[in-house]
A and B are shown apart, each in its own frame.
Chain A
Amino acid sequence: MTTAPKPTTAPKQMHLAAHFPGVNSTTVWADPRSDSQIDFSSFEHLARTAERGLFDFFFLAEGLRLREHNGLIHDLDVVGRPESLTVLSALAAVTDRLGLAATVNATFNEPFELARRLATLDHLSAGRAGWNVVTSSDAFTGENFRRGGYLDRARRYTRAAEFVATARELWDSWTPDGTPRRFVHHGEHFRVEGEFTVPRPPQGHPVVIQAGDSPEGREFAASAADVIFTRHGTLEAGRAFCADVKGRLAKYGREPDALKIMPGVGFVLGDTDAEAREKASLIRLQQVSPQNAMLALEQVWGRDLSSYDPDGPLPESDPVPDSELAQGRVRHGDPLAVAARWRALSREKGLSVRQTVIEATARQSFVGSARTVAAELAEFVAAGAADGFVLVPHLTPGGLDDFVDEVVPLLQERGVFRSAYHGSTLRSHLGLAEPVWKG
């Protein structure tokens, strides 16, 4: 055991969650160790690994329409996944403590049905349900739904806020001793009344997670979320983000600790730091194949660039604004600004198209020996740049194995991560109070 001196105050505790590596180019599907992203055994493996590592929760993303590129279904990345709440209900049978969080769109659902499904999951898992609220302004995705689905940016956030508020009214409509009472909600987006059909969930309310980084998203999170799933690059950016979002809580009467900030991060482990760095660059080459690099370029430039060479320079011409070349994909910023940034990066370092994409699209990753990674993760949390992390492995389903075997014990040794689950609900893992019943 270590002989490090006892700290005078207990170090801040880290929260950890596992993202199932499903649909995207993060997943290195060409790796021989990569298995099915659909079979239940994959979900079971990753969830059991996360629970073995005492993680707070297991996290599933959502897809509601297959992405397209240039009018054709995008065929290079892992695609196809089962529906989240159904998978999580099944995982409740093979785990005991792990939180189970699903991404579910507030634009293409209705409060009564979704509140009921989430309350059901909370009952079936004895208080382990989480809901990552996302919204869509995307008519492309809307083509799969009754409403057809276009909402402008502002409306989709007001709908989401009212959606969450309505769900909470429904969860509170039974008294804590189990008596259903009639509810009436007449709002701008929803007009629902009647009797909710599931008793108050074991956690009071399932944990609400919010994803995204826009000003509207930050405000919505500050007012209504328990956890933010975000992405930010550096320790400095993380500190700025945390300070901004936590600074918004007071006006909603909330304490800074009532909202946990958990960036999604990658990691690559090696026996030595040098070996891990070598591995990490190989992984990036697998993730950004020449075909994927050209695709990423076309997504920013908004037009067909098939005559360009992935090992050659970036196009001199400017992107087409408001292009619909890439559909069903989250856009990261104004294409003109992104192109300018990519060009500067390419010029400064003398990078080809593929090399530029590799550098420009990397998410925050912790790369090194287990000891280095544990130290850096702990530093992020100690510095106030995050409350914890949603780990995004690059292999399905074994991508978390080495982290749990090698890094978690070191975090425990440092005293920054639990050595046993103390409670049984997701709220208790996250250190969040049970919401007061507003009868």
Chain B
Amino acid sequence: MPPIRPLHLAAEIGGPPLYDPGHYTALARLAEGGALDFVTLGDSFARPGPDALAVLSRVAPATRRIGLVPTVTTTHTEPFHVSSAVATLDWVSRGRAGWQVDVSTTGAEARLFGRRPAAPAAELWREAGEVADAGARLWDSWEDDAEIRDTATGRFVDRAKLHYVDFEGATFSVRGPAIVPRPPQGRPVVVVDGTAEPARQTAARHADVVLVRATTPERTASIRSDVRRRAEAHGRDPDTLRVLAALTVDLGDAESAPEPGLAPMSGPPLAAHGTYYRGGPVDLAELISRWHRAGAVDGFHLTPITPERDLERIVNGTVALLQHRSLFRTFHPGGTLREHLGLARPACRYTEGAVLQGDLA
């Protein structure tokens, strides 16, 4: 039996599209009060809703500790702009940024841009992997101490510590270096939903946090092992991955017992947008501790079906109970998202003598 690792918890704060920043700030603060690792805000060009990265930038100064992870898609966007925006979210949040990578598969999305036709998911996820790779190289393209302000020579930066990335992908190339200096976390945390095959390879290769949608702890554990194996094959230490089970959570009827067949003991069914859990906050805490104790997951990413109602029940019910049982921390011990997740700050790949991981070099 492997040792029990610290439990990680995250929550999605999207829902029906709203444009009032106060709504998102209130939800992020609520999650922060529960000492959750991070909140996510889903995004896509296909449905109404504000730009998620901008919303979480707006939330950043109004929060202090919680990680902020917007979805930013890679199909119709510019890799250079995406990497700059995510790095900037890390700067404005002082080291709390993540990036959930996603693709745009539909013809409707393609027609909003008129630049390229829709493409199969496998092709788009390969490209997404290249965008993540180019992004990470751009984040590394300024060494941490590139800014020298040397009045003796008049040099503001040491150009030997700025690097061209010269990235050549199948659909794009980027010369570099970045315009944004290396972000506080070195590299913001990359999140990928690795449930489906086309995305799993990209997740294993580039993600720090992998989301998995599966109905049983056994199935989740098997996907987790697969992702870890693939990461190792790419020369990565699998212990630098955090695999979180994704649950859509409906705590609307908190007083009643879970419906027959949906009881946490037998595992929830897989819904179209994630694994569906319906029941009370206490039963959810039971499910979380059972899956975690079994070593199936490193934690959970919870999508409250009605954020205002369910996130409050998650934090004040489920999380409070987990904390009471000493299964989850009661405060953020560090300041950055990487620290919450127990992930080291990566060394810059261009720094002489840096220890590099496998093919990330």
Partner of B61, one of A44, A109, A292: A44
For residue B218, CB closer than 8 A to chain A, the reply is no
Instruction: List the one stretch of B79-87, B257-265, B307-315 in contact with chain A.
Output: B79-87
- What 0/1 pattern do residues 189 to 223 of B give for CB contact below 8 A with A? 00000000000000000000000000000000000
Given contacts A93-B60, A94-B61, A120-B50, contact A38 B91 (CB under 8 A): yes
For residue B158, CB closer than 8 A to chain A, the reply is yes
For residue B45, CB closer than 8 A to chain A, the reply is yes
Among residues of A, the one whose C-beta sits closest to the C-beta of B63 is A93
- Whether B78 and A109, one on each chain, are in contact in the complex, defined by CB atoms closer than 8 angstroms, is yes
Chain B binding surface SS class: mixed
A198 to B137, CA, bound (A): 32
> Closest approach, in angstroms, between the C-beta of B5 and any C-beta of chain A?
33
For residue A144, CB closer than 8 A to chain B, the reply is yes
Instruction: List the one stretch of A1-9, A80-88, A236-244, A261-269 in contact with chain B.
Output: A80-88
- Whether A109 and B81, one on each chain, are in contact in the complex, defined by CB atoms closer than 8 angstroms, is yes
- Whether B91 and A72, one on each chain, are in contact in the complex, defined by CB atoms closer than 8 angstroms, is no
- Whether A113 and B76, one on each chain, are in contact in the complex, defined by CB atoms closer than 8 angstroms, is yes
Partner of A194, one of B112, B171, B175, B177: B112
Specify which of A80, A89, A92 lies most central, judged by the most chain B CB atoms within 10 Å of its CB: A89
Partner of A124, one of B54, B151, B171: B54
A73 to B142, CA, bound (A): 12
Partner of A86, one of B25, B57, B62, B172: B57
Residues in A241-255 with C-beta less than 8 Å from chain B:
none
Residues in B144-189 with C-beta less than 8 Å from chain A:
146-147, 149, 151, 153-159, 162, 171-177, 179-181
Specify which of A72, A90, A109, A119 lies most central, judged by the most chain B CB atoms within 10 Å of its CB: A90
Partner of B77, one of A40, A78, A113: A113
For residue A336, CB closer than 8 A to chain B, the reply is no
Count residues on chain B whose CB falls below 8 Å from chain A CBs. 65
Given contacts A120-B50, A145-B78, A193-B111, contact A93 B61 (CB under 8 A): yes
Count residues on chain A whose CB falls below 8 Å from chain B CBs. 58
- Whether A198 and B55, one on each chain, are in contact in the complex, defined by CB atoms closer than 8 angstroms, is no
- Whether A81 and B179, one on each chain, are in contact in the complex, defined by CB atoms closer than 8 angstroms, is yes
Given contacts A90-B92, A144-B175, A194-B111, contact A80 B157 (CB under 8 A): yes
For residue B286, CB closer than 8 A to chain A, the reply is no
> Closest approach, in angstroms, between the C-beta of B14 and any C-beta of chain A?
13
Q: Could you list 17 further interchain pairs (A-B, Cβ under 8 angstroms) beyond the known A64-B179, A93-B59, A110-B115? A: A38-B180, A39-B91, A63-B179, A65-B175, A66-B179, A80-B146, A80-B157, A80-B179, A83-B81, A83-B85, A87-B92, A89-B54, A89-B55, A112-B45, A124-B58, A144-B80, A193-B114
Selected A-B contacts with CB under 8 Å, 13 pairs: A29-B156, A65-B175, A66-B162, A76-B154, A79-B156, A82-B87, A86-B85, A110-B115, A144-B174, A146-B172, A194-B108, A194-B111, A198-B50
Binding site for B on A (CB under 8 A): 29-30, 38-40, 44, 63-66, 72-73, 75-83, 85-87, 89-90, 92-94, 108-110, 112-113, 116-117, 119-121, 123-124, 143-146, 180, 190-194, 197-199, 289-292
